[in-house]
Structure 1
């Protein structure tokens, strides 16, 4: 995965990349198989995440150890996502996902075997977390960039809604399953299960037919770092992508604060009973689940996507400030649910817009940077707000985060170039095409496809 794939120029009779449902034969079956495999693989990964966290907490009772586990488990993905995005644009995305998932399974299997043999030093766990995170940085942008290759443009928001629903559902299911396995067996059993789920995910992905992009510059591709620089220039010069990613990043930072600080407020204000902390997590997860279900059900009928995104981000700001003003615990929980719902209602159409707007041969690099935002933004918010929570009340910080998010959206809307850029991608491509003059002629494709 260190060099460009051999060029495969499209055959003269090869049709251009499919762009709507009629030209995606079998897309429902492909998407169903793909999401099933990703769900099984995600469950295994989340089981490991919870089991490692609990294992380190119980065996070391050290905050520094937990901090290092987060560093090794997250920073490599943030760094590698930059390069993973370039690989996703230079190589077959399906094969990248299979290779990354397989490498993660091998690293987990090696960790399990070492622990069975009695080697359970912290550095072994840290090394395994770093390897898993590294290959996640390759896998994640490839998955996001591959979805538009197998999904009609008119169904992107629905499929992203389904994907968000699955991820939110895993947030409810995985802790329960991990607790049952860890309590009745040990952490090694969780590792072996993760290996099996990864292999199932790889096997199902092998059954998905994915078009392979053929870049217009395939005959003389730019250098590796030339590709990376082109991705940076693309994001900076492409108004809709630049502003959408900015909104996404700032929302992640300011929603990250309440998501991390709410357990602290529950403990300080409403009591430290375990059931209250559990209820807080459940309400947030259910909110995200409901948002995903809503996007899966009605997403394709949304004609003003930027209106929806702006509206729910503003709502998230108001609800976040409300968290800090809530004096009743159940009102606090419901507001957390509404923030979770708002976040999903924002992220599903935002991902669909990027998948629909960005040229196919640039999507890997764009989603590589999206991966960095998603990996770094929320921990970054904790770096900023965490120490403040030791000096000021959590309530005041939540009000501040909500006010900042609301003010940020209003400032963006006041910038003419931002307003024009976001309005340009507000309507789904399918609706825009329906309004276009049918006699305008065929568009010359910038890339072809071969099937892999």
Structure 2
């Protein structure tokens, strides 16, 4: 079905996508919901540490359970995204995720919480997230049209990271004041905002591409499409390696705060906030970009991120580590935003859901591998080691991909 042509946006500069009413509704709901999501992430990590006496391995297992469904479901979520009305499906998924938060808050407040219950709810939330993420990522272009995808992706990251500043800080205070249970219930209520935004959208103003009818081998066709594109393969490999071993902040910063510097939940929240400050600065810069980022931009941001991660892990004091996390956040956000925008603008609309399903599989699906591995590394070599190891792996990954691409180009020019 052809898209309805949206009137020219009146909002200029880095907020141009907010001139599109449907996207404005979506972003407004995301601001509230993302704050709640970050509050839950902090509370969930702290709850696991409290229940296990500070076990890094248990924290890694919880992360693996939450992200493992991505390995099984995100590709099929991408196939589904190419077939269905994304807006309606997103409403149902967001409601289910809200119910998970409600259940977790209830078991904590009633005093019956056990580690296995947290693990189970992490797994359920992971299942819904695995379907939600490729659906939501591919829905961006339907809201704003291809001309504003780069800006909208950057603004999504800006909203997400502003929430990462507010959410952890609020969560740290609430955990100390009233406990983790109320934080989970607040997050459950926050899903009302994003569901309301989706319900209020005007479907006729979406930039919809033709839905792909059900047919055999659609998943295989999507994988073959990516395999035939060296530029996409390079980005996908980088995203997998960097996210698996570098972008594991949910546990590396928790270990740094609690096990290295002996800080409480507020101290953990502050480090996460400083990381988010850098991310917001990175998103602000990315929102000013108007064209598809080149592969060299993606690789350069990844290389800078790896080096800065090593520096942050080596900082001798809590204050120095916190300050070092600001440029780490900047580089991490620059890398992920450039990679996301480059992929979205490089694919055919009828393949976007499947390609973004693979992208999100590689971005998030490596966590079940990286989380436990880095947890074991921390148990044997201390709380700083996951940051340093992640940074070294990131740098080596970027250099290896650059060498392979250079050899491919040289072979083609002979």
TM-score (norm 1): 0.75
Q: Runs of 5+ in structure 2 lacking a partner?
A: 10-15
Which of 344, 353, 358 pairs up with 2:342?
353
Partner of 2:222: 231
1:203-242 map, 5 Å: 203-208=196-201, 209=203, 210-215=206-211, 218=213, 221-223=214-216, 226-242=217-233
- Deviation readout 1:397-431 (Å, 9 max, x if unpaired): 7566544433432332333478769xxxxxxxxxx
Q: 1:71 to 1:26 in 2, by over 3 A?
A: closer
1:141-290 map, 5 Å: 141-185=134-178, 187-208=180-201, 209=203, 210-215=206-211, 218=213, 221-223=214-216, 226-256=217-247, 260-261=251-252, 271-273=261-263, 280-290=271-281
Q: 1:365 to 1:395 in 2, by over 3 A?
A: same
- Deviation readout 1:317-363 (Å, 9 max, x if unpaired): 33234345655765544433222211111111211111111122222
Q: 1:106 to 1:262 in 2, by over 3 A?
A: closer
Q: CA deviation at 1:19?
A: 10
Partner of 1:103: 96
Q: Partners of 1:307 and 1:30 in 2: how far apart? A: 33
What secondary structure is seen at the aligned counterpart in 2 of 1:156? helix
Q: Partners of 1:114 and 1:384 in 2: how far apart? A: 30
1:51-66 map, 5 Å: 51-59=43-51, 61=53, 63=55, 66=59
Which of 65, 84, 92 pairs up with 2:77?
84
- Deviation readout 1:198-249 (Å, 9 max, x if unpaired): 122111111223344324x63xx313xx222222222222222211111222
Q: Across the two proteins, how many residue pairs are aligned to each other?
A: 399
Q: Partners of 2:189 and 2:44 in 1: how far apart? A: 18
Q: 1:237 to 1:177 in 2, by over 3 A?
A: same
Q: Partners of 2:27 and 2:312 in 1: how far apart? A: 34
Q: Partners of 2:327 and 2:78 in 1: how far apart? A: 33
Native 8 Å contact 1:86 1:227 kept in 2: yes
Native 8 Å contact 1:313 1:346 kept in 2: yes
Q: Partners of 1:265 and 1:129 in 2: how far apart? A: 22
Q: 1:312 to 1:191 in 2, by over 3 A?
A: closer
What secondary structure is seen at the aligned counterpart in 2 of 1:176? helix
1:115-130 map, 5 Å: 120=113, 122-130=115-123
What secondary structure is seen at the aligned counterpart in 1 of 2:365? helix
What secondary structure is seen at the aligned counterpart in 1 of 2:45? helix
TM-score (norm 2): 0.81
Q: 1:230 to 1:21 in 2, by over 3 A?
A: farther
Choose 1 or 2 for highest CA Rg: 1
Q: Partners of 2:299 and 2:119 in 1: how far apart? A: 40
CA RMSD, aligned part only? 3.7
Q: Partners of 1:86 and 1:414 in 2: how far apart? A: 33
Q: Partners of 1:259 and 1:184 in 2: how far apart? A: 22
Partner of 1:93: 86
Partner of 1:315: 304
Q: Partners of 1:236 and 1:213 in 2: how far apart? A: 23
Q: CA deviation at 1:147?
A: 0.2
Q: CA deviation at 1:268?
A: 8.0
What secondary structure is seen at the aligned counterpart in 2 of 1:357? coil
Native 8 Å contact 2:3 2:208 kept in 1: no
Native 8 Å contact 1:165 1:289 kept in 2: yes
Q: Partners of 2:58 and 2:384 in 1: how far apart? A: 29
Q: Partners of 2:7 and 2:406 in 1: how far apart? A: 30
What secondary structure is seen at the aligned counterpart in 1 of 2:209? strand
Q: Partners of 2:385 and 2:60 in 1: how far apart? A: 26
What secondary structure is seen at the aligned counterpart in 2 of 1:214? coil
Q: Partners of 1:66 and 1:401 in 2: how far apart? A: 17
Q: Partners of 2:308 and 2:123 in 1: how far apart? A: 36
